[in-house]
Structure 1
Amino acid sequence: MAMGLAHKHTLTDRGAFAVMIGANVGTTLTAWLVAYKIVGLGPVFVTLGGLWSLAGPRPWRPYGKVLFYFGLVFLALDLISQALAPLANSPALADWHELLSSPVLALLFAALLTALVQSSSVVTGLAVLSVQQSLIAPEVAVWLIAGANIGTTSTALLASAALDTLSRKLALLNTSFNILGVLLFATLLQPVIGVILTLDIAADQQVALVHTLFNLTAAIVALIILPHTWPVLSRWLNRGL
């Protein structure tokens, strides 16, 4: 959406990039909603949204669709949670857990899965649900979430293919930002993440807290350095236009 607005000159290139940064922080809400088991309210949101979009005041009906699709995401996650429950006693689970215990493999697996389903929220929710079901350890889940942050850039890259050069460069800039965020996650943030994973709270809440810390820290760092780097980035974005 940000790239589309930039393509139509409704939003500046700097504004579009700032929206992309903000979207990374906003998506952390999914992990908290799943951790606190709000996904069980999916059918309620679907019903209310459907009724609102059909019978609500006409100017407000589009907002009912937003509520409907919001509920649909959590209804799907709730169904996934129920389907995952029997896997907890599966002998094959140990093989998968051993495979994903490698941070690099967990990262790549989540990145590919996110690119396939085109939703980091789904993969993040799936990681938290897997921790709730004791299918994977929190130490594995946090790397899945980091991989989802890379995989979600595929949405912008695919969308930009049909837009102008500026949009494609913004998509590349978004990808670079997320990759740098994961590098920050894998290096400087590791001691803090280690502390969070030892806190006396539920394992799924540990994962949600790591997810929030990761994206919030990356956003703060980006906003701090953006005023100093934007002149160079702006020249690159607008070169050849």
Structure 2
Amino acid sequence: MDIFNVFTFIGGLALFLFGMDVMGEALKNTSGGTLQRSLSKMTSSTFKGVLLGAGVTAVIQSSSATTVMVVGFVNSGIMTLHQAVGVIMGANIGTTMTSWLLSLVSVSGTGFLINMLKPSSFAPLLAMIGVLMRFAGKTDRTKNAGNIMIGFAVLMTGMETMSSSVEPLSKMPGFIQLFTKFTNPLLGVLVGLTLTAIIQSSSASVGILQALCSTGAVTYGAAIPIIMGQNIGTCVTAILSAIGASKNAKRAALIHLYFNIIGTIIFMTVFYTLNSIIDFSFMDHVANPAGIAVIHTTFNVTATAILFPFSRGLEKLACATIRDDKTPVPDEEQDEILQRLDNRFLSQPSVALSVSTDAVLRMAEYAEEAVDLAMSLFDKYDEDVAARIKKLEKKTDRYEDRIGTYILGITPQALSEKESRRTTILLRSITDLERIGDHAVNLKDSANEMYTKNQHFSNNGAEDMKVMLRAVTELLKITTSSLRDFDPDAAEKIEP
């Protein structure tokens, strides 16, 4: 193997990682945030959490992305720690889908259908179709579908390039001897852990291992401990995302780590104990990409099956590791809605816009309440009510500042036309809602002036005020409703 083979391998790895990123982003955009938002609506059933976690990860092709979202949901209070356990377990199962797709490089045969399953046959066709859809498509959905095809084609091309570039290694005794050392389980785990921690993707590191299978030097004895280490190494992404987060969010990241460490210890202990008794003959056989996928899937499914009954135990272990503070948290920091504006969602625009919309709707409720209370002061002035109006106005100010800053963090992301339009609407809405809060204070001041000067409306004036109050109240309710559902038909009822 010469320097040019190394360059080819590096280029193949670059294509592989880029293709995986493009395909993953396109898959997330195609789902329109439905899968991501469904994570936030989890029930208390751990089993349903496992199914949903597996489904979401299989679609977006990244257990790291799913786990980071879970950490964000727990941090913002959208999801409980107990709900997170099942989703994390499921994410480990869902991530095995990528290894099965990559195993297509090992397909061999001479028939037409068999040849069409080979990446060298279908990747160019997918790439061309994807490019046509990407540039000729008129809708975001069509363009995203094109990006999925392009990403997958690039990914498979990179995989094939890596496999072909390392073939000369099969003739190097030193390389073959190197892999015999990985049959030491602890060393293999360490290698898999380190590689995955560096590139922060178990799917990518498993893909690299599958590519190395073409050398004939990777036996199942060497591959098994490396795969175990890869599952532990992928936890680094979630742990990094939990830095600066709430204690429960950090616990969610720890649950991911504990699940993989405990699962690895149990799996390896049982497997190598049986191997010492039975002596599995396949351990010395040369591994292939499909075999790697089988091992990857078997481990994650087995670990989930074993640890599923102990989900509460994992939760308690994480809570015992990170204990609660006894220091009380200021009320302002306990605002549940504002806590949901988590920066971890900024890379998932659909989720970030969903939590932003919730915050804007809460802001609208505060503004509406402030106006209702202010109008009531003209009938009967009350200092407690006046104080409540001032407090609500401060809340709308705080919401405008926090939501505006958060939404501006979304805008650098690649947004669809619909998401971009919603971003603009939300930014305009918070400015108007803050102004409504200011008007409520102005009304309160006017009512206070009338009260201190002992002034009153005439009977006709009082009736006019009641009519105006009903109209304003109805306007605010229709406005909030149309904003909640982004319903243009409801919004058209406001103008008359």
TM over 0.5: yes
Aligned partner of 2:101 among 33, 43, 53 = 33
Aligned partner of 1:153 among 215, 235, 241 = 235
Tell me the TM-score normalised to structure 1 length: 0.82
C-alpha RMSD of matched pairs (Å): 3.2
Partner of 1:3: 71
Percent identical pairs in the alignment equals 27
Which runs of no fewer than 5 residues in structure 1 stay unpaired?
A: none
**Following superposition of structure 1 onto structure 2, how do residues 73-112 of structure 1 map, counting pairs within 5 Å?**
73-112=155-194
Instruction: Summarize deviations over 1:142-166 as a string: whole Å, max 9, x none.
Output: 1111110011111111111142222
Q: Is the 8 A contact 1:150 1:179 kept in 2?
A: yes
Post-superposition offset of 1:99:
2.7
Q: Which has the larger radius of gyration?
A: 2
| Amino acid corresponding to residue 120 of structure 1 in structure 2 | S
Partner of 2:313: 229
- Worse-matched range after superposition: 171-180 or 76-85: 76-85
Post-superposition offset of 1:223:
1.8
What is the number of equivalent residue pairs in this alignment? 239
| Structure-2 change in CA distance of 1:57 and 1:233 (3 Å) | farther
Instruction: Summarize deviations over 1:90-149 as a string: whole Å, max 9, x none.
Output: 233134123322111111011001000111111112222222431211211111111100
**Following superposition of structure 1 onto structure 2, how do residues 1-241 of structure 1 map, counting pairs within 5 Å?**
1-37=69-105, 40=120, 41=122, 48-49=129-130, 51-60=132-141, 61-62=143-144, 64-66=146-148, 68-190=150-272, 191=274, 197=282, 203-226=288-311, 228-229=312-313, 232=316, 236=320, 239-240=324-325
Instruction: Summarize deviations over 1:6-60 as a string: whole Å, max 9, x none.
Output: 2233333223232221111112222222223265555555555555455435252
How many Å separate the matches in 1 of 2:147 and 2:286?
35
| Structure-2 change in CA distance of 1:202 and 1:230 (3 Å) | closer
| Structure-2 change in CA distance of 1:231 and 1:161 (3 Å) | closer
Post-superposition offset of 1:232:
3.5
Which runs of no fewer than 5 residues in structure 2 stay unpaired?
A: 1-68, 106-117, 330-496
How many Å separate the matches in 1 of 2:124 and 2:200?
23
Secondary structure of the residue aligned to 1:10 is coil
- Worse-matched range after superposition: 201-210 or 18-27: 201-210
| Structure-2 change in CA distance of 1:10 and 1:92 (3 Å) | same
Higher RCO, 1 vs 2 (CA within 8 Å, ≥6 residues apart): 1
